[in-house]
Amino acid sequence: MSLYLRRDDAPLMPPPERVGGAWGWLREHIFSGWVSGPLALAFIALIGWVLPDLIRFFILDAIWIADDGAACRVLGTGACWAFVDRKLDFFRYGSYPGSEHWRVDLVLMIGTVLSARLLWPDGQKSKGALFAFLFGIPLFIFLMMPGPAAVMREPGVELGILAFGVTLASVLEWSKLRTLWVGIFYFFIFPIISVYLLKGSAVLGLMQVDTNLWGGIFLSLLVATVGIVFSLPAGVLLALGRRSELPAVRFFSILYIEFVRGVPFITVLFMANTMLPLFVPDNWSPDRLMRPIIGFALFAAAYMAEEVRGGLQAIPKGQSEGAMALGLSYWQRMRLIILPQALTLVIPGIVNIFISLFKDTTLVAIVGIFDFLRAIDAARIDPVWSGPTVSPTVYAFAAAFYFLFCFGMSRYSQMMEERLNAGRRR
């Protein structure tokens, strides 16, 4: 053991050299070591090599306006944005009839404003935030879905939808409606309105639109929203079941959660598509769009349950015991004491699950649903436009879309995390 011990003082080392200015910053932050210095140089070289090519391909040499693929097929031209522009309606609405697009726009407008109201943290809003809520969010969904071209076609209808969105946001803001009521409207009344609007009904005088024709970004958002909206309550119930004291309840919850989490989403989709119609009486067989949505919702619930369980486990036992001592029943305890604390604790985790669920909506294409990515992939092989630059262009477009959504959500979850930690921070 004695060999480990030092017998005399270690030699004094000179104080670290201090170099200021630009060179000092460079030395500290870029050429800091024998590994990271050369690595940084290699990365800088890589950026210098790739970035100009990317800018040239996607911006400088890109074809912005063209009537068919001929201009994009010319050797040395860049991204074929003209193609994306031409197919934009298909990417957004699938084969939904053009004259009925306003119905989709209206549903999305209501949904976005309501979601924004629900997701917005309570408390005093700053002027900027208020402005963003009243005008920014309606304007964003308006520009993303109908776009300027639709306004040229039907100015009355499309501008009306924008005005409606702004009005709805203002009403929600000024009436000081409680979040609970907005939630009830969002979870129970809004879905019914949407189904009637999207599918059409003779009573309202709206043309029937078969679900076969639904597609594009609108369908991706629809699948994601239904799955997420269903998965929250179902996940909470499953998480409570998994922590229940009743063995049978616990057993079934664990069985369900572990089963769903143990298999790939694609097999769940296959099951929903081929087995669901077998399990129910013939006349109950769900619509071909309904099946993957059910599968998606069931899949989402299991993941949500595990996240909520994490929150439940973080609540000290004293909370539950205190509530019990006050004479609250099980459901009162959960509803008033435990769940509000547990759910706020895991909001960031829940948003992370939303992100991965949103990315997973792309897989519904395997059972023939025309979601956004499937629409991209189908449009890509259009013979009129086929060319070497078309594939990279549309994939870049799709990547930008998904990135925008997911990155936005992750930023939101970080913001919430900070806000929620405010009480815990010292």
Partner 1 sequence: MSLDVARERPSTSLFYNPRLRGFLWQAILILIVGFLSYEAIVNAATNMRARGIPTDFSFWDRVASFDINQTLITYSATSTYGRAFMVGLLNTLLVAAIGVFLATFLGFFIGIARLSKNFVVSKLASIYVEVMRNTPLLLQLLFIYNAVLKPLPNPRDSISFGAGIYFNNRGLVVPDPQFAPGSGFILIAAALGIAASFAFKLYAKRRQFESGEILPIARVSAALILMPPILAYLLAGQPISFDTPVLRGFNFVGGMRVLPEFVALVVGLSVYTAAFIAEIVRAGILSVSHGQTEAAQSLGLSRTHTLKLVVVPQALRVILPPLTNQFLALTKNSSLAVFIGYPDLVQVFAGTVLNQTGAAVQVIAITMAVYLVISLITAMIMNVYNRRMALVER
Q: Give me the residues that bind partner 1 (CB under 8 A), please.
A: 1-4, 6, 28-30, 32-33, 36-37, 39-40, 43-44, 47, 245-249, 252, 259, 261-267, 270-271, 274-275, 277-282, 355, 359-360, 362-363, 365-366, 373, 377, 380, 388, 391-392, 395, 398-399, 402-403, 406-407, 410
Give me the least distance between CB of 270 and partner 1, in Å please: 5
Report the alpha-carbon distance of residue 282 to residue 9 in Å, rounded.
88
Closest contact distance (angstroms) between CB of 229 and partner 1 is: 20
Report in angstroms how near the CB of residue 34 gets to partner 1 at its nearest: 12
Q: Give the up-direction half-sphere exposure of residue 182: CA atoms within 13 A in the CB hemisphere.
A: 21
C-beta of 67: minimal distance to partner 1 in Å? 24
SS3 annotation, 54-102: HHHHHHHCCECCCCCCHHHHCCCCCCEHHHHHHHHHHHHHECCCHHHHH
C-beta of 98: minimal distance to partner 1 in Å? 27
Is the Cβ of residue 191 or residue 392 nearer to partner 1 in the bound state?
392
Angle at 180 between CA 173 and CA 336, to 5 degrees: 140
Residues 6+ away with beta carbon under 8 Å from 303:
231, 235, 260, 261, 353, 356, 357
**Token code pair at residue 186:** 């969002």
**Angle between helix 247-262 and helix 216-242 axes, rounded to 10 deg:** 140
We find the least distance from the C-beta atom of residue 302 to partner 1, in angstroms, to be 13
Q: Is the CB of 148 or the CB of 247 nearer to partner 1? A: 247
Q: In degrees, to the nearest 5, what angle opens at C-alpha 336 toward C-alphas 331 and 337?
A: 100
Query: For residue 235, what are its two tokens?
Result: 């996940």
Q: Shortest Cβ distance from residue 373 to partner 1 (Å)?
A: 6
Indicate the DSSP class of residue 33.
S
Residue (89 or 360) nearer to partner 1, CB: 360
Q: Which of 51, 163 has the CB closer to partner 1?
A: 51
**Residue number with CB closer to partner 1 (139 or 366):** 366
- Closer to partner 1 by Cβ: residue 192 or 248: 248
Please give the structure tokens belonging to residue 193: 């309105």
Nearer to partner 1 by Cβ, of 4 and 49: the residue is 4
Start-to-end C-alpha separation, the chain: 44
